[in-house]
Amino acid sequence: MVFAAPNEALTRAEELLGADPAPLHASIAHQVIGIWQRDFGDTRQALAHLRRARDLAARADSAEREADVLATLGVALVHSGRTREGLAAFERGVARGSGHTRARVLYRRAYVWWVLGRHREALEDVRRAIPVLRQADDVIWTARALTLRATVHLALGAVERADADFTEAEALWDTTGQEHDKADAVESRGLAAFRSGDVPTALRLLDEAEERYAKLGTPTFMLTIRRCEVLMAAGLATEALAEADGAIAALDGIGGQSTRKAELLLVAARAARLAGEAQTALARAAVAVRLFAGQRRTWYETHARLVLIEARVATGHGSGRLVADAAAVAERLAAFGAPAAPEASLLAGRIALDLGWTADAERHLAVAARSRHGGPPLARMTGWAAQALRARAAGSARGVLEACRRGLDVLDDHRMTLGASELRARATAQGAELAALAQRASLVSGGPRRLLVWSERWRATVLTAPPTRPPADPVLLSTMTAFRELAARADDARTGGGRPVPALEREQRRLEREIRSRTLHMRGEAPGDGDRFDVGRLLDRLGDDVRLVELAVLDGRVHVLLCGQGRVRRFEAGLLAEAEAEAEHVQAGLRRLAHPGAEARLPLVEAAGARLQELLLGPAAAHLGSGPVVVVPPGRLHRVPWALLPVLRERVLSVSPSASSWLRARETAPPPGGRQVLVRGPGLASDGAEVPELADRYGARRPTGTVARDDGVRDAGTRGGDVRDGGRGAGGGVPREPVRVGRPTVLEGDEARVPRVLRELDGAASAHIAAHGTFRADSPLFSSLRMADGPLIVHDFERLDRSPYRIILSCCDTARFASVGADELLGLVTALLPLGTAGVVACCAPVNDAAVVPLMLALHKGLDAGLSLAEALRDARAALPGDAAHQATGWAFSAFGAA
């Protein structure tokens, strides 16, 4: 009962002791309390109760009872860090017990061997226990033993054997009422899914296990460790670090198991290293190494030493001593049969290469490269990274590029199993080293065309296929509705001059976590994009007039790849870090110019634009011709207001996350019917004044009150990325015939509610949304537009069958993104582009609300004349008054895509 209903078991044990029982029964009661304290409470109290249980069993002269208590005591001693005493207790327990009891003791000793990382001993003990448990028809303990054996198999990389044991154990658990063990089985299946490379299923199962444990009131420290491992594999290292540190604090608060603390410190160290916090990683790993050494847990200690060496390298402490240390760790891990052994060999080889020790590097890298042909995706990528480094050391650019191609293909396959766009974007971080190696090799030997191909190979890959549409999950839909209502109440409290009550904010954060968790469970449905980037096709589409400027960053310097007139040329520009700093100065200047009285800063902002031009375009600025320009910046430069650069101010200018996405946008056909939607959200300083004027201009119709479907979107349609149109002109993606729009639908006041807005947006030819925009750097997919009933978030847009062909967002900060992964962006604009939107006008900075109105009216005037978004935006800027507020507003808006 202590696992099936732990709190009830504790109560009954305490009641039994209060009735002055016989020694045999008192021994059982103290053992139950000891188990509860060991797993859910204070290990010191656990040891006291278990020693008392042992002494009472001896008084009762029951060898079997004493053997059983000794096994429980042995587990508690090991978990408290007293490994030698714990193993000695097991020796006595095995000697005292017989038959069925001895099998249970052997099972628990096998568990301890697993905790200690001594997997061969664990397999041997569980191999001896299982037949006896089966013969005794002991369903619960047989299922436990099978689950343990499966977990040991996973630690050794034997996924198929683990699956067989998990399947058999699960069938046995279904015949019992052991709810704790059933939750443990779900957790174990999540671990198995992760080891096989299925991250969404792993997250779903671990979340399900957490829900089951919560109903039992069971602490989830082991589950936290496993969840952190999955989060790190998904590119969510910062979240993993926060979860691990939180669990460490909670464990310390209850005086919990020393073994679990060491494991949590190890996972926190790994998460900190992946999150770029090298000093934190050093601190966590050093403590973990000491604890594991004191606990005699060599397997874990060796893994902690690997992280410690990685952290030292990350802080710039490469040395011959570290090469030897990494090589020794690799040998020990290989002897254990640990899947992490290739990582250690790769690390040793990488350090040796940096020191110029080519012979040593080749020896270690050759060992690591063996993993490229088998195992889970990230292990194979480790092997291909080692192979690429071997080729680089040998001076073979061709070998580097082939290894990088093969490694990135593995990661592409892995990414497409992920349904959530956030996970796809963050997973690209795993391939950053391969992408950088390939770009360097291209720069040295392949010329500008090859560098462009490799720049595109790893740029904005999350946009290559639409995200998996969230399922019609009633729990998810009701959670999103509740989140929207709470967010609206919190926003009303802020705008009313007060503050939301803390309980309201806590509940809002809880609902955000639940929404995000459910979306991360989605598996990918779309195959990888087989249409590889073709430089020739790009140049054909650009023609003689249009120039595409792709900025690649190698070793901190910006390289300009200028495409047009049938060729690709390369120019060197400035340092990325200096450009980022200048872009932040420009952002600060634009914020000031949005307010009255800042006119004196206008020349300073213009001068900063000139400096940005020199840093970002360098000599390429003189070769742009006189036609339209498409800028493809890296993710870290997404906040640059490109229209501020002197050479681009009077241009037809558009921005795209990649050349590939520009091509797709250019070839996306507008939907039939030409529906237009105008949306005005609440609380705007200008009251969205352009919307009524546009409505009058177009002879708009007001909605008739039709009811949206429960999930707030239209029934099945065609995703825009699948619609191609060859009838385009060569100049900047403008259709030969203008996009015709009918009488627009206007949604304002109470009609501008999220379900209704989504219904009207789905499949529209054009949409103009005037609403407060909020960018969430901490969680970019909760960036939002404020509607009458609360925020319209990125997760809502991903429910659309097809987003509007053109969309104009006339509010602040709608063109802000979070740069994640290798070179990916998450935000409102990037959510729309894979869903069928070919062009977006959005803003990268706070702007003067009053100045936005004439800009938007002029923009629509150009669209009415058949211009593209980029052409209409250029003319709209030129038509603005020359004062600082209007000029800054014009610079802050950009046209994205090619519509």
Instruction: State the pLDDT at residue 182.
Output: 87
Instruction: State the pLDDT at residue 733.
Output: 39
- Encoded tokens for 602: 């206008």
Instruction: State the pLDDT at residue 784.
Output: 83
Instruction: State the pLDDT at residue 42.
Output: 83
| Torsion sign (Cα): 315, 317, 323, 327 | negative
Instruction: State the pLDDT at residue 463.
Output: 57
Instruction: State the pLDDT at residue 102.
Output: 96
Alpha carbon 644 to chain centroid distance? 33
Instruction: State the pLDDT at residue 435.
Output: 85
Predicted structure pTM score: 0.76
- Gap between the Cα atoms of 781 and 793, Å rounded: 7
Instruction: State the pLDDT at residue 512.
Output: 75
Instruction: State the pLDDT at residue 736.
Output: 37
CB count in 10 Å sphere of residue 556: 10
**Amino acid in the structure at residue 121:** E
Instruction: State the pLDDT at residue 466.
Output: 59
- Encoded tokens for 543: 């023609």
Alpha carbon 370 to chain centroid distance? 28
Instruction: State the pLDDT at residue 469.
Output: 61
Query: pLDDT under 50 in the chain at which residues?
Result: 529-530, 705-738
Instruction: State the pLDDT at residue 724.
Output: 26
- Gap between the Cα atoms of 738 and 123, Å rounded: 72
Measured CA to CA in angstroms, residue 76 lies from 40, 57, 112 at distances of 12, 17, 10
End-to-end CA distance of the chain: 66
Residue with tokens 């352009």: 690
Instruction: State the pLDDT at residue 708.
Output: 37
Instruction: State the pLDDT at residue 563.
Output: 96
Instruction: State the pLDDT at residue 523.
Output: 65
Concatenate the DSSP letters of all residues of 478-500 into one string: HHHHHHHHHHHHHHHHHHTTS--
- Gap between the Cα atoms of 581 and 792, Å rounded: 32
Nearest to 307 by CA among 249, 333, 83: 333
Instruction: State the pLDDT at residue 580.
Output: 92
Instruction: State the pLDDT at residue 219.
Output: 81
Torsion of CA 174, 517, 377, 441, to 10 degrees: 180
450 Rama class: left (phi>0) / alpha (psi -120 to 50) / beta: alpha
Measured CA to CA in angstroms, residue 285 lies from 264, 307, 363, 613 at distances of 10, 6, 27, 44
